[in-house]
A = this chain, B = another copy of it.
Amino acid sequence: MKKNLRVGLLLDELTSNPCRLYESRYFCSKYDIAKSSLSEDIKLVNEILHENGSGRIESIQGVGGGIRYIPGISDEGIRELQAELIEALSDTSRMLGGKYLYTSDIMFDGSNVSRIGRIFAQRFYGLGADYVVTVETKGIPIAAQTAFMLGLPLVVIRREAKYSEGSTVSINYFSGTNERIQKMSISKRAVEHGRKAIIIDDFMRGGGSLKGIQDILGEFDVETIAIGVALESRLPERKKVSNYTSIIIIDEIDEENKKISLSANEGLFE
């Protein structure tokens, strides 16, 4: 088999299965090549990924080792996404009143979802998380994408306990935004005690909803080790959670003068 065909086959299989650990001998026997040839091929795959800024191949030596693809995105790719999101969000026809913006089309756009998933996967890889958790509905695509890219199961917390979720645990929490008590509910089968979770959501204002997710996970001794949100409201400055990463900051929604002020989160490049 020609080398450039083989490198392409490796690249395609690895990138189609993010974070899956392949034993070296799997590819050696599949393509009937020596381990040294595979190493050379993987070096080329890594050059390709580096050049495109789309991640890297991690090689783990020794027993239980192997190779796997860690998705990524270049700083340039992040800046491009931020600029596109800021342009889309600046459209004042998105204003719904009460400081709400219509964002469903943005959160359900495949190219946005894919790139947001790459940003969080690149950032949170290596933390040792067991789950990616979100609460329905608008954050599900980006959470599902992040989970896929980290090779982790997705857990979706529901607003109401559903029969199809089996036994559930529910909590009430205070949403500062609506100034009212809200409910969320998680299937007892969804998580195991003592594990670690990354929370992903589309939007954070005061962080009440994220705090609610942390609390309901706490009922299972599941620790929240990172939080990623696509959009963050500048106000209130005091959030109910810390240790979160956002992509875009909504500085102000000025309904009187019809102006939406937005910033790119520069913290992503530190």
Contacts and interface: CB of A to CB of B under 8 A. Distances in A.
A89 interface: no
A11 B105 CA distance: 28
A89 to B, nearest CB: 14
Interface residues of A, number: 60
Nearest to A20: B111
Contact of A108 (B5, B12, B54, B156): B156
B16 A164 contact: no
Interface in A91-134: 96, 98, 100-105, 108-111, 113-114
Given A102-B165, A141-B154, A148-B110, A12 B15 contact: yes
B108 A164 contact: no
A166 B9 CA distance: 46
Interface string A179-200: 0000000010110000000000
Given A104-B156, A108-B156, A114-B148, A166 B12 contact: no
Contacts of A98: 163
Interface string A74-101: 0000000000000000000000101011
Contacts of A164: 96, 100-104, 138
Given A4-B7, A102-B166, A187-B102, A109 B153 contact: yes
Given A8-B7, A113-B148, A136-B137, A190 B52 contact: no
Interface stretch (A43-51, A211-219, A258-266): A43-51
B187 A104 contact: yes
Interface of A: 3-5, 7-9, 11-13, 15-18, 20, 44-45, 47-49, 51-52, 54, 96, 98, 100-105, 108-111, 113-114, 136-138, 140-141, 144-145, 147-149, 151-156, 158, 163-166, 187, 189-190
The 3 A-B residue pairs whose C-beta atoms are closest, nearest first, are: A110-B148, A4-B4, A8-B48
Given A101-B164, A108-B156, 17 more contacts: A4-B8, A8-B48, A11-B11, A100-B163, A103-B164, A104-B156, A104-B187, A104-B189, A108-B153, A110-B149, A110-B153, A114-B148, A138-B156, A138-B164, A140-B141, A140-B144, A144-B144
